[in-house]
Amino acid sequence: MKTVLVTNIPYPYRVPVYDRIANLLGNDFVVLYSSATEPNRQWKIPSLHHAHRFLKKLYVRYSIEGFYHINFDVLKHLAELNPDVVILYGYGPTQQLAFLWCWLRKKRIVLFNEGWAITEQSLSKRQRALKKFIVGKAHAFIGASKKAAQLYGQYGAPQARIFVSPMAIANERFVPPPSVEKQFDVLFSGQFIDRKKPFFFADVVQNLARTRPLHVLLLGDGPLRSTILQRLSEAGVRYTAPGFVQEDELPSFFHRSKILLFPTMEDTWGIVSNEAFASGIPVITTGNAGTAHDLVVHGETGFVLDLNVDDWAKHASLLLEDEHLYAKLSNKALERVQAYNFDVAAQAIIRACEKSLS
């Protein structure tokens, strides 16, 4: 089963999955990357222990976060490799070119997507029609979450051909030490952009600070960072803000934090939830996050709430005050995240490819 995966860049949370597939399929598995990185990415490019090629870089920025990659040489590489199965990670121009190549040559097509209903809201009728057409021609489907898998069904994909390759991290790297001082009451980790709702986070923190002393940890960078920090300073909230932190440094910060607040306007997933749970940290998030009601289960591993400042502050206070409740949610979070791992993710991709051939 010679397989080629076409994707944008080496995402740190997916590279270990591809390495595991390569351990099983060897050089019969090749990843074609549109680019080594994107201008808004600050992470280190991980070591790649799988067969791969970087395409001739060409992209167009369409938003503060997004890029369309247009790699015409994907056709040349597909012709050279002549795979049995092609996995298309996303629906960008490069993936569309690869789709046409597969369709014309009657190759097996596996679609791989992170999006779900809420992230599809901004799509035009033309984009929806194109997706429906591509789904109708594909032979198997991989979602990065249960919600992403359900979306395929809405486009007409048969349930028996849909698989979930969960978003995962190296859970073992985040296991908290036996005794660690919880230095930070509340944690924010992500980009300081409108979509991540940092002003909402600041509102919740200010609400909490009215009734208790707080030490807040803010990880990440972005255009709104200085404004948020100034606002917290003016409100007299104590905070630590080291900026963007590389993946290998994250565990020590998470270990010293009590609660992760993860507000968002929309997120395909929210890998920060995995990092929190693997550290034994309960998460408060919104239904706008892909991780909500999947990894984050309301009342069991954290709370899923509407974006209401008073409600978030109330539930955060509850976790900070009730040691029994905190321990219960912390233990359940550690337990639940174990099923979200690289091996499970890799096996789902392989099963989808095998199913595409039947």
Q: Is this prediction's pTM over 0.85?
A: yes
CB count within 10 Å of CB 49 equals 13
CB count within 10 Å of CB 267 equals 25
DSSP string, 260-290: EEE--S-BS--HHHHHHHHTT--EEE-TTBT
C-beta separation of 180 from 256 below 8 A? yes
Q: List, in order of start, the domains of the chain with CATH numbers.
A: 3-168+341-356 (3.40.50.2000), 171-337 (3.40.50.2000)
Tens-digit pLDDT profile for residues 329-347 = 999 999 999 999 999 999 9
Tens-digit pLDDT profile for residues 212-259 = 999 999 999 999 999 999 999 999 999 999 999 988 899 999 999 999
Residue 58: which pLDDT band, with cuts at 50, 70 and 90? Answer: confident
DSSP lists the bridge partners of residue 184 as: 257
Residue 64: which pLDDT band, with cuts at 50, 70 and 90? Answer: low
Is the pLDDT assigned to residue 7 strictly greater than 90? yes
Tens-digit pLDDT profile for residues 134-184 = 999 999 999 999 999 999 999 999 999 999 999 999 999 999 888 888 999
Strands 3-7 and 29-33 come out as parallel
C-beta separation of 217 from 257 below 8 A? yes
Q: Cα–Cα distance between 199 and 52 in angstroms, integer?
A: 41
Tens-digit pLDDT profile for residues 83-141 = 999 999 999 999 999 999 999 999 999 999 998 989 888 888 998 999 999 999 999 99
